[in-house]
Amino acid sequence: MKVDDDMWVNIDLLYGMMKSGLFRNSLTGSCNYASRPFRNKKSKYYVSYSMYPDHVYPPFCSGTGYILDFAVMEDIVNVSKNIPFFPLEDVYIGFCMRELGKSVVTMMSFHSFKIFLNSCIYKSEIILTSHGLSASDLIDIWNTPCNFPKFHGNILAFQGRGLGAEPKGLPRRQFMHRNRQMGLRRQQLHGKGPKNYNFRLPVKRPVKYRKRPGI
Protein backbone atom coordinates (compact mmCIF):
# COMPACT_ATOMS: atom_id res chain seq x y z
CA MET A 1 0.00 0.00 0.00
CA LYS A 2 1.20 3.52 -0.83
CA VAL A 3 -0.12 6.48 1.18
CA ASP A 4 0.84 10.09 1.87
CA ASP A 5 2.01 11.07 5.35
CA ASP A 6 -1.17 13.06 6.06
CA MET A 7 -3.50 10.09 5.59
CA TRP A 8 -5.75 8.14 7.91
CA VAL A 9 -5.65 4.40 7.23
CA ASN A 10 -8.17 2.11 8.89
CA ILE A 11 -5.80 -0.76 9.68
CA ASP A 12 -8.45 -3.18 10.94
CA LEU A 13 -10.61 -2.70 7.85
CA LEU A 14 -7.57 -2.93 5.58
CA TYR A 15 -6.47 -6.20 7.19
CA GLY A 16 -9.91 -7.74 6.72
CA MET A 17 -10.05 -6.68 3.08
CA MET A 18 -6.59 -8.05 2.39
CA LYS A 19 -7.46 -11.41 3.95
CA SER A 20 -10.49 -11.63 1.66
CA GLY A 21 -8.30 -11.28 -1.44
CA LEU A 22 -10.19 -8.18 -2.52
CA PHE A 23 -7.11 -6.48 -4.00
CA ARG A 24 -5.78 -9.43 -5.95
CA ASN A 25 -4.28 -8.71 -9.38
CA SER A 26 -5.41 -5.07 -9.48
CA LEU A 27 -4.75 -1.45 -8.53
CA THR A 28 -7.34 -0.23 -6.01
CA GLY A 29 -8.05 3.19 -4.55
CA SER A 30 -9.85 6.46 -5.29
CA CYS A 31 -9.43 6.28 -9.05
CA ASN A 32 -9.87 8.56 -12.05
CA TYR A 33 -11.07 7.28 -15.41
CA ALA A 34 -11.16 10.38 -17.62
CA SER A 35 -8.74 12.82 -16.00
CA ARG A 36 -7.17 15.45 -18.27
CA PRO A 37 -3.61 16.80 -18.07
CA PHE A 38 -3.09 20.29 -16.64
CA ARG A 39 -1.76 22.55 -19.39
CA ASN A 40 -1.45 25.68 -17.26
CA LYS A 41 2.27 26.32 -16.68
CA LYS A 42 1.54 27.78 -13.26
CA SER A 43 -0.03 24.53 -12.05
CA LYS A 44 1.84 22.16 -9.78
CA TYR A 45 0.63 19.35 -12.04
CA TYR A 46 1.56 21.01 -15.35
CA VAL A 47 2.34 18.59 -18.18
CA SER A 48 3.47 19.83 -21.58
CA TYR A 49 2.17 18.49 -24.89
CA SER A 50 5.65 17.25 -25.74
CA MET A 51 5.67 15.16 -22.58
CA TYR A 52 2.12 13.84 -23.00
CA PRO A 53 0.29 14.78 -26.24
CA ASP A 54 -2.98 12.95 -25.53
CA HIS A 55 -5.98 14.70 -24.01
CA VAL A 56 -6.94 12.09 -21.39
CA TYR A 57 -4.85 10.08 -18.95
CA PRO A 58 -5.29 6.32 -18.68
CA PRO A 59 -7.19 5.11 -15.59
CA PHE A 60 -5.17 5.73 -12.42
CA CYS A 61 -5.74 5.96 -8.67
CA SER A 62 -5.07 9.06 -6.60
CA GLY A 63 -1.55 9.06 -5.19
CA THR A 64 -2.94 9.96 -1.77
CA GLY A 65 -3.48 6.26 -1.17
CA TYR A 66 -3.80 3.08 -3.20
CA ILE A 67 -3.18 -0.65 -2.91
CA LEU A 68 -1.29 -2.91 -5.30
CA ASP A 69 -1.17 -6.67 -5.33
CA PHE A 70 2.45 -7.75 -4.72
CA ALA A 71 2.53 -9.71 -7.98
CA VAL A 72 1.33 -6.60 -9.82
CA MET A 73 4.10 -4.58 -8.16
CA GLU A 74 6.67 -6.96 -9.60
CA ASP A 75 5.07 -6.66 -13.04
CA ILE A 76 5.18 -2.86 -12.78
CA VAL A 77 8.89 -2.94 -11.96
CA ASN A 78 9.53 -5.03 -15.06
CA VAL A 79 7.32 -3.06 -17.47
CA SER A 80 8.53 0.32 -16.19
CA LYS A 81 11.82 -0.26 -18.00
CA ASN A 82 9.94 0.32 -21.26
CA ILE A 83 7.87 3.32 -20.14
CA PRO A 84 9.47 6.80 -20.16
CA PHE A 85 9.76 8.92 -17.03
CA PHE A 86 6.66 10.90 -16.05
CA PRO A 87 6.62 13.47 -13.20
CA LEU A 88 3.26 12.42 -11.72
CA GLU A 89 3.76 9.16 -9.85
CA ASP A 90 0.11 8.11 -9.69
CA VAL A 91 -0.41 8.73 -13.41
CA TYR A 92 2.79 6.82 -14.18
CA ILE A 93 1.43 3.80 -12.32
CA GLY A 94 -1.65 4.15 -14.53
CA PHE A 95 0.58 3.96 -17.62
CA CYS A 96 2.10 0.76 -16.28
CA MET A 97 -1.29 -0.77 -15.48
CA ARG A 98 -2.54 -0.02 -18.98
CA GLU A 99 0.55 -1.59 -20.49
CA LEU A 100 0.01 -4.69 -18.35
CA GLY A 101 -3.72 -4.84 -19.10
CA LYS A 102 -4.53 -4.97 -15.37
CA SER A 103 -7.68 -3.70 -13.66
CA VAL A 104 -7.90 -0.27 -12.03
CA VAL A 105 -10.63 -0.47 -9.39
CA THR A 106 -12.18 2.40 -7.43
CA MET A 107 -13.64 1.93 -3.95
CA MET A 108 -15.86 4.35 -2.09
CA SER A 109 -13.99 3.71 1.16
CA PHE A 110 -10.88 5.43 -0.28
CA HIS A 111 -10.97 9.23 0.02
CA SER A 112 -8.56 11.65 -1.61
CA PHE A 113 -9.88 14.51 0.56
CA LYS A 114 -10.58 15.10 4.23
CA ILE A 115 -13.81 13.71 5.66
CA PHE A 116 -15.34 16.02 8.28
CA LEU A 117 -17.02 13.41 10.48
CA ASN A 118 -16.94 11.91 13.96
CA SER A 119 -13.72 10.09 14.89
CA CYS A 120 -15.58 6.80 15.29
CA ILE A 121 -16.75 6.92 11.67
CA TYR A 122 -13.09 6.92 10.67
CA LYS A 123 -12.77 3.60 12.52
CA SER A 124 -15.94 2.13 11.01
CA GLU A 125 -16.40 0.14 7.80
CA ILE A 126 -17.23 3.30 5.86
CA ILE A 127 -13.74 4.81 5.65
CA LEU A 128 -10.54 3.02 4.71
CA THR A 129 -8.46 6.13 3.91
CA SER A 130 -8.92 9.87 4.25
CA HIS A 131 -6.53 12.59 3.11
CA GLY A 132 -5.40 15.86 4.66
CA LEU A 133 -5.35 14.98 8.36
CA SER A 134 -2.89 16.57 10.76
CA ALA A 135 -0.91 14.64 13.37
CA SER A 136 -3.31 15.85 16.07
CA ASP A 137 -6.30 14.66 13.99
CA LEU A 138 -4.79 11.19 13.72
CA ILE A 139 -4.01 11.03 17.44
CA ASP A 140 -7.58 12.06 18.29
CA ILE A 141 -9.00 9.33 16.05
CA TRP A 142 -6.76 6.64 17.51
CA ASN A 143 -7.53 7.67 21.10
CA THR A 144 -11.31 7.94 20.69
CA PRO A 145 -13.09 4.91 22.23
CA CYS A 146 -15.88 3.55 20.02
CA ASN A 147 -18.68 1.06 20.58
CA PHE A 148 -19.37 0.04 17.00
CA PRO A 149 -22.64 -1.94 17.32
CA LYS A 150 -24.20 1.03 19.13
CA PHE A 151 -22.52 3.59 16.90
CA HIS A 152 -24.02 2.10 13.73
CA GLY A 153 -27.37 3.37 14.95
CA ASN A 154 -25.85 6.82 15.37
CA ILE A 155 -24.62 6.69 11.78
CA LEU A 156 -28.20 6.23 10.62
CA ALA A 157 -29.41 9.12 12.75
CA PHE A 158 -26.56 11.30 11.49
CA GLN A 159 -27.54 10.42 7.94
CA GLY A 160 -31.13 11.50 8.53
CA ARG A 161 -30.09 14.85 9.99
CA GLY A 162 -27.38 15.47 7.42
CA LEU A 163 -29.65 15.35 4.39
CA GLY A 164 -31.46 18.54 5.35
CA ALA A 165 -28.66 21.09 5.23
CA GLU A 166 -24.98 21.23 4.51
CA PRO A 167 -22.78 21.55 7.61
CA LYS A 168 -20.74 24.74 7.81
CA GLY A 169 -17.26 24.44 6.34
CA LEU A 170 -18.07 21.24 4.43
CA PRO A 171 -17.78 21.66 0.63
CA ARG A 172 -20.88 20.54 -1.25
CA ARG A 173 -18.97 17.87 -3.17
CA GLN A 174 -17.80 16.23 0.06
CA PHE A 175 -21.25 16.64 1.62
CA MET A 176 -22.96 14.83 -1.26
CA HIS A 177 -20.28 12.15 -1.36
CA ARG A 178 -20.68 11.57 2.38
CA ASN A 179 -24.45 11.24 2.07
CA ARG A 180 -24.12 8.71 -0.74
CA GLN A 181 -21.74 6.64 1.37
CA MET A 182 -23.98 6.66 4.40
CA GLY A 183 -27.07 5.97 2.32
CA LEU A 184 -25.48 2.81 0.96
CA ARG A 185 -24.36 1.86 4.45
CA ARG A 186 -27.90 2.37 5.78
CA GLN A 187 -29.31 0.10 3.06
CA GLN A 188 -26.70 -2.49 3.91
CA LEU A 189 -27.53 -2.44 7.62
CA HIS A 190 -31.23 -2.94 6.84
CA GLY A 191 -30.53 -5.78 4.42
CA LYS A 192 -31.79 -3.84 1.39
CA GLY A 193 -28.52 -2.73 -0.17
CA PRO A 194 -25.58 -4.55 -1.72
CA LYS A 195 -23.60 -6.85 0.54
CA ASN A 196 -20.49 -4.85 -0.28
CA TYR A 197 -20.97 -1.11 -0.76
CA ASN A 198 -17.61 -0.83 -2.54
CA PHE A 199 -18.16 -0.81 -6.28
CA ARG A 200 -16.21 -1.31 -9.49
CA LEU A 201 -16.22 0.84 -12.58
CA PRO A 202 -15.48 -0.40 -16.10
CA VAL A 203 -11.94 0.30 -17.23
CA LYS A 204 -11.63 2.04 -20.58
CA ARG A 205 -8.40 1.79 -22.53
CA PRO A 206 -7.74 5.19 -24.15
CA VAL A 207 -5.31 6.02 -26.94
CA LYS A 208 -1.97 4.24 -26.68
CA TYR A 209 0.62 6.24 -24.75
CA ARG A 210 3.18 7.71 -27.13
CA LYS A 211 6.83 7.87 -26.22
CA ARG A 212 8.51 11.25 -26.12
CA PRO A 213 10.68 12.06 -29.16
CA GLY A 214 14.30 11.13 -28.72
CA ILE A 215 13.66 8.47 -26.05
Please state whether the predicted TM-score (pTM) of the whole model is above 0.75: no
Residues 6+ away with beta carbon under 8 Å from 145? none
Asked if the model's pLDDT at residue 204 lies above 70, the reply is: no
Question: How far, in Å, CA of 215 to CA of 211, rounded?
Answer: 7
Asked if the model's pLDDT at residue 15 lies above 50, the reply is: yes
Give me the pLDDT at residue 181, please: 54
Q: Average pLDDT of 2-22?
A: 90
For 43, other C-beta atoms within 10 Å of its C-beta total 10
User: Residue 152 is inside which H or E element, if any?
Assistant: helix 148-162
Q: pLDDT-based confidence at 209, cuts 50/70/90?
A: low
Give me the pLDDT at residue 125, please: 83
User: In the beta sheet, which residues pair with residue 29?
Assistant: 66, 106
Under a CB-based contact definition with an 8 Å cutoff, are residues 71 and 37 in contact?
no
